[in-house]
Structure 1
């Protein structure tokens, strides 16, 4: 069993990076999502949540691990479990982000928590991201990442929950390798589970290429934006429930709450079982 004290020296570590918000990046994501938005220009606001395409983990190729991620032990702790998965995010949107401004991202390691689950040892990594623009803090995020042991058994879909509410909005998504590649390129995410079929099936024992958790989140936020185009998000809480693969079409769905101030969105796999939930307030 992995003890919590093993990673105590990593808690509180910070790193920062800067990025210029260009229209080209946002236009590329818009095209990847098959949106018909006109090209953005200087001074336009980017859609909420799209800041993720501007901050990249830039390391030399020789400094990447066998899974394609940057090697652990530099900023991130040296967690020796092989499988890394995005588990969820809580975000608060304070101010808009504009094309043409420089933004700064400061990441703090908030917690490193070992646990034991049904699949064996787990380590949960909690990261706090603060995105700051010309007018102060624009976005605060708490991101959860989970590290797991190698796969021993396949996930059984019939133990997963179904849709949490009757769907008012619904859209089918075909997670083609081209879609996954384009999102990996936009975010400079070289994790091989998203593009290397031989690796993901033979080494990590998944049935196909995995859809990025942040991509599914952006698709859910895009559904909200399409259905409630006159609303701006205040907060979201996102939880990954089960993986989505490129082998099947999946659904993104949602509905507004009766209070007129919140909405629930979710993603379902090909068996209509829950893959992700997103609770939004606006």
Structure 2
């Protein structure tokens, strides 16, 4: 039974000068032109990174302990979704302060047992003025026997939408995104671990990468996005063809073989 009684982490603040290099690197990964001095929404995930010592990592590659990591045994983490609102864009050479705080927790019963839903808020400020707010929804469960790996289809989905961006995330892309975000979770690079320990159908495409790809069609169409909300619904695996689809009406999605893997809205 998940028990987090007494877990109430204090807010934490970190200040960083925004460097251009991570955005240039991500643009290369996406085969796109660099965005210039303004960070596109969600590209702040390349900044304010935690860099724990090797000895601090657990068997899954995640840190064993952390201020906003719940104290539950054999913790497994899933990226569920989030929201981001921009008042003014984060810019290269800005000194930005990020304040992180726990917003809510809820224990729910799922198909695989009890799950802990956690929402964490990041507030970004420049010269003492709030410029953007992000909320991340994360799901944790205690480890146990892996479920049987899912059957994975590699048939390209047929998608009809005003915007379509076909993508196939191979292991090289996953490795590069893990490096850019300093993400050591083994489900993204260790196929035996992903399938045999966590029960996935292959290497897992990062939820944040899917969310960034959701916003690529409006970004490439030249639209300014001030708000985005997204929800992860199904995993996407390496080598599966998928489509980042959307419309100027504000709807976006990741369409994978046979499933909608992520839905999003923007304004």
Question: Normalised by the size of structure 2, how large is the TM-score?
Answer: 0.90
Q: CA deviation at 1:81?
A: 4.9
| 2:242 maps to 1:250 | yes
**Residue 100 of structure 2: which of 107, 120, 124 is its match?**
107
Which residue matches 1:152? 147
- Measured in 2, the distance between the counterparts of 1:10 and 1:129 equals 19
Q: Which runs of 5+ in 2 are unaligned?
A: none
Which residue matches 1:260? none
RMSD: 2.3
| 2:261 maps to 1:275 | yes
Q: Which runs of 5+ in 1 are unaligned?
A: 258-262
Residues 252 and 72 of structure 1: CA distance in aligned 2, closer, same or farther (over 3 Å) = same
- Measured in 2, the distance between the counterparts of 1:80 and 1:112 equals 17
- Measured in 1, the distance between the counterparts of 2:193 and 2:43 equals 29
| 2:154 maps to 1:171 | no
Which residue matches 1:233? 225
**Residue 53 of structure 2: which of 52, 56, 60 is its match?**
60
- Measured in 1, the distance between the counterparts of 2:49 and 2:131 equals 18
**Residue 187 of structure 2: which of 190, 193, 196 is its match?**
193
Q: Is the 8 A contact 1:86 1:213 kept in 2?
A: yes
- Measured in 1, the distance between the counterparts of 2:235 and 2:167 equals 14
Q: CA deviation at 1:80?
A: 2.3
Q: Is the 8 A contact 2:9 2:68 kept in 1?
A: no
Which residue matches 2:198? 204
Q: CA deviation at 1:9?
A: 2.6
- Measured in 2, the distance between the counterparts of 1:69 and 1:146 equals 14
Question: Normalised by the size of structure 1, how large is the TM-score?
Answer: 0.85
Q: Is the 8 A contact 2:152 2:201 kept in 1?
A: no
Q: CA deviation at 1:103?
A: 1.4
Q: Is the 8 A contact 2:166 2:244 kept in 1?
A: yes
Q: Is the 8 A contact 1:7 1:112 kept in 2?
A: no
Residues 170 and 225 of structure 1: CA distance in aligned 2, closer, same or farther (over 3 Å) = same
**Residue 217 of structure 1: which of 211, 224, 238 is its match?**
211
Which residue matches 1:25? 22
> Which stretch shows the higher mean deviation, 7-16 or 20-29?
7-16
Residues 75 and 143 of structure 1: CA distance in aligned 2, closer, same or farther (over 3 Å) = closer
- Measured in 1, the distance between the counterparts of 2:212 and 2:68 equals 26
Q: Is the 8 A contact 2:83 2:227 kept in 1?
A: yes
Which secondary structure state, in structure 2, belongs to the residue aligned with residue 9 of structure 1?
coil
Residues 8 and 133 of structure 1: CA distance in aligned 2, closer, same or farther (over 3 Å) = farther
Q: CA deviation at 1:207?
A: 1.3
**Residue 181 of structure 1: which of 168, 175, 184 is its match?**
175
Which residue matches 1:35? 32
